[in-house]
Amino acid sequence: MKKTSTRLADGRELIYYDLRDAVVRDAADRRPLERTVTTSEVRRDPLLGDTVAIASHRQGRTYHPPADECPLCPSEGDRLSEIPDTSYDVVVFENRFPSLAGDSGRCEVVCFTPDHSASFKDLTEEHARLVLEAWTDRTAELSHLPSVEQVFCFENRGAEIGVTLGHPHGQIYAYPFTTPRTALMLRSLAAHKEATGGENLFDDLVARELAGERVVLEAEHWVAFVPYAAHWPYEVHLYPRRRVPDLLGLDEEARAEFPRVYLELLRRFDRIFDACGDSPSPPGSPGRPGSPGLPVSRVSPGEPATPYIAAWHQAPFGVLEEFDGVAREDFALHLELFTVRRTSGKLKFLAGSESGMSVFINDVPPEQAAGRLREVASP
């Protein structure tokens, strides 16, 4: 991997990640941009104890531009974009409309490919590995910023999720605090450690799932399953078999295997709703031998690509004193992949119970979801 850092016309950092060392990246940003001004502010809710980012400047961000005006495609002739060069492998740059900025953290955009019509699942394994290396490198670099306590790499795909740019890309949020979701995990981790005399909750959870019926995919260094209390209609958690706190902790074997495993999961997600009729799958259907027949939602071949969120959970880089007895190394890196589509043409909305009380209602039993995800495995 070759890494080349440069600056855009308004001073924002941009980094090229290339597969080949011979590539030269010296194109200048020719746009007449003024320096970016943001109004990002972090406020703490005194009742709930969580945090809200107030970012009114984002109201003016680019919204569903036509493909020939996409700001994430390479620049070409007089059509100038956020990427000055005429090509790239993977590129990362500071978001022009960040939710977090300055003392409130940092937001970056990760462009997975120059191909506007592609998706992450269309990448080669070599290219997917390059994205992994970019995520890892940015996690390392951002963790050194004094305003950053936790780094979150993620991808939103699909207009149903709220994506405003159709080009295949993800984002990285560098928070100045430990996020509420992670804090809940750390508290559960501390309580389990105390109650069991030192056992690790992540280790015990993965062991239980591996012994159950919700396993979706097993590889030498990775395992994927639908969790017992899945919040979303189709939700998969992907763990490295060797517990590490963050992307930096993955060894070469896990890194080398990740692209094949992750690309397979993404391709299965796009096949969930790819047939017609609702019928039970037969006993012993693809997946684990002897798996029971499960009802399967099927849709027409014209079903749009499955919208999803893919989210990496990494340990915070800050001090964990408030979580008694928990060290960074106790946390387990994992990726959460889920869709808001519950069946053909129908989405899961966060309505009264979810939005008002944080109590999720899932219309698809996790065991059924796991069965379907095994059925649509690649040949």
Phi and psi at residue 144, to the nearest 5°:
-85, -10
Sequence letter at residue 333: L
Half-sphere exposure of 221 (CA within 13 A, CB side): 14
- Alpha-carbon 260 to chain mean position: 16
57 flagged as catalytic = no
Dihedral, CA atoms, 131, 115, 4, 176, nearest 10 degrees? -50
Sequence letter at residue 71: P
Count other Cβ atoms within 10 Å, centred on residue 44: 10
Which residue is catalytic, options 169, 221, 313, 334? 169
Q: How far apart are the first and last CA of the chain?
A: 31
Residue with tokens 């740019």: 165
Which residues, listed in sequence order, are joined to residue 91 by a DSSP beta bridge? 16, 111
Name every residue whose Cβ is closer than 8 Å to that of residue 195 and which is 6 or more positions away in sequence.
none
Q: How many residues are recorded in the chain?
A: 379
Q: From CA 224, how far away is CA 209, in angstroms rounded?
A: 9
Q: Give the residue among 201, 197, 204, 161 at the shortest CA–CA distance from 185.
A: 201
Give the SS3 label for residue 330.
helix
- Alpha-carbon 218 to chain mean position: 20
Tokens found for residue 215? 């396993």
- Alpha-carbon 230 to chain mean position: 17
363-374: burial string, b at 16+ Cβ within 10 Å, e else: ebebbbbbbbbb
Phi and psi at residue 301, to the nearest 5°:
-60, -15
Residues with catalytic roles: 169
